[in-house]
Chains A and B, each alone.
Chain A
Amino acid sequence: MDIDVKMTVNGKAVTGKVEPRTLLVQFIREHLRLTGTHVGCDTTQCGCCVVHVDGVAMKSCTMLAVQAEGRSVTTIEGLAAADGTLHPMQEAFREHHGLQCGFCTPGMVMMGVDIARRLPNADEKTVRHQLEGNICRCTGYQGIVEAIMDASAKMAAKA
């Protein structure tokens, strides 16, 4: 039996009818057609599906859509400003070339923002440790870590 869900996604109120077993990531990608959030491993390990739920990073492949009822969800599509200006974390990923194929990037950026909020001005060791739930198979992480550290510093200075 389908269930009605309503939540806020990227600032907009959305509703949908889902099976109880529908994952949040399926709801985001297949119902809302926001395909920036990726499914990598589907086993809570790779972090490609990280979104923010009430401002906190969570793996949307390991959460039911119905568990997000009434919550505020932010996906990669919701990070940039309305005029298209990139979020400082996105800008830093561009600047430091924190990606190659780009598959892990939405999750990396969303986790990067979460790290920057929780641990402003985190050092390299901390950032690497905090990224253990996000897997990249191309870059060797160097550019990603540099981007997160750079953006963290800029976000902390702005706050």
Chain B
Amino acid sequence: MHNFQYHRASDVNDAASKLSACDDPKLLAGGMTLLPTLKNRLAAPSDLIDLGNIAALKGIAVEGKEVVVRAMTPHAVVAASADVLKALPALASLAGNIGDPAVRHRGTIGGSVANSDPAADYPAACLGLDAVIETNKRKIAADDFFLGLFETALQEGEIITAVRFKVPDNAAYMKFRHPASGYAVVGVMVAKYGSKVRVAVTGAGPHAFRVTEMEKALEASFTPAAIANIKVSPEQLMGDIHCSAVYRSHLISVYARRAVEQMTK
């Protein structure tokens, strides 16, 4: 790991002013991706600004029909939260299957969402559960947030403070879990809001995305059969050492169907 200057932010404003004062800074959330990246010397920021001591960035609140998860809340806390288990069990289950227990004790929702790893789970939750990503500057709809491989709508100096999920009538997240890393080879979140349906996929493309064709079919008939013949074109998917784009396309259909099956059981 190259060395860097370390700063402990006392609050979000302090973090923002440190961000603007440093030459090539990075925010440090749980560090579950950033620290391995630095160890491999794939990044060499001049400064790390640690958000770990900002109490206001931790915690979960249910506000009407929304679940608000503050940015520095670890996955294990989301997974075990009585509020999340009651209002949004699909989100608790998603959080409880990220990485391993020790990783879930440190990794945070804000870090995951800001990184936009193509195989991370939370981006599927953000898109599937019609989330709003709140920052120190504005609110960004999840639909406008994930722009590319490790690329988001976040601007320089912008810090995620919370993710606000809309509570659906019903939702399920199904994932083909990489057996070694726990990352999603393919993960699909299906959520039903009245007559509207959202289908969000992670692990398969350069970033999480929605499958509108499946959404329309499920809005017409919310049954596994309705999406049986809908395929996402492999041309827009990734092939890598783990599996081909064609296989990922197949997995999307299978895991979307399984999510609908769970919801209609």
- Give the residues in chain A near B106, CB-CB below 8 Å: 58-59, 62-63
**In the complex, are the beta carbons of A66 and B99 less than 8 A apart?**
no
Question: B182: CB under 8 A from chain A?
Answer: yes
A97–B180 CA distance with the chains assembled, in angstroms: 26
A66-B6, A130-B101 as given contacts; A44 in contact with B36, CB under 8 Å:
yes
- Give the residues in chain B near A118, CB-CB below 8 Å: 101
Hey, what's the 0/1 contact readout for A64-94 against B, CB within 8 Å counting as 1?
Answer: 1011010000000000000000000000000
Hey, what's the 0/1 contact readout for B177-212 against A, CB within 8 Å counting as 1?
Answer: 000111000000000000000000000000000000
Q: Which of B2, B50, B99 contacts A133 (CB 8 A)?
A: B99
Residue with the greatest number of chain B CB neighbours at <10 A, chosen from A43, A44, A50, A118: A44
**In the complex, are the beta carbons of A133 and B102 less than 8 A apart?**
yes
A133–B98 CA distance with the chains assembled, in angstroms: 11
Q: Interface size (B, Cβ < 8 Å)?
A: 28
Hey, what's the 0/1 contact readout for A14-26 against B, CB within 8 Å counting as 1?
Answer: 0000011100000
Q: Interface size (A, Cβ < 8 Å)?
A: 29
Question: A3: CB under 8 A from chain B?
Answer: yes
Whole-angstrom distance between the Cβ of B6 and the nearest chain A Cβ: 4
**In the complex, are the beta carbons of B36 and A57 less than 8 A apart?**
no
- Give the residues in chain B near A19, CB-CB below 8 Å: 3
Q: Which B residues from 123 to 156 make CB contacts under 8 A with A?
A: none
- Give the residues in chain A near B169, CB-CB below 8 Å: none
**In the complex, are the beta carbons of A133 and B101 less than 8 A apart?**
yes
Residue with the greatest number of chain A CB neighbours at <10 A, chosen from B35, B39, B100, B181: B100
Question: B8: CB under 8 A from chain A?
Answer: yes
Q: Which of A20, A57, A64 contacts B102 (CB 8 A)?
A: A57
A57–B105 CA distance with the chains assembled, in angstroms: 7
Q: Which of B6, B28, B31, B39 contacts A42 (CB 8 A)?
A: B39
- Give the residues in chain B near A111, CB-CB below 8 Å: 101-102
- Give the residues in chain A near B238, CB-CB below 8 Å: none
- Give the residues in chain A near B6, CB-CB below 8 Å: 3, 20, 64, 66
> Closest 3 A-B residue pairs measured CB to CB?
A133-B100, A20-B6, A21-B1
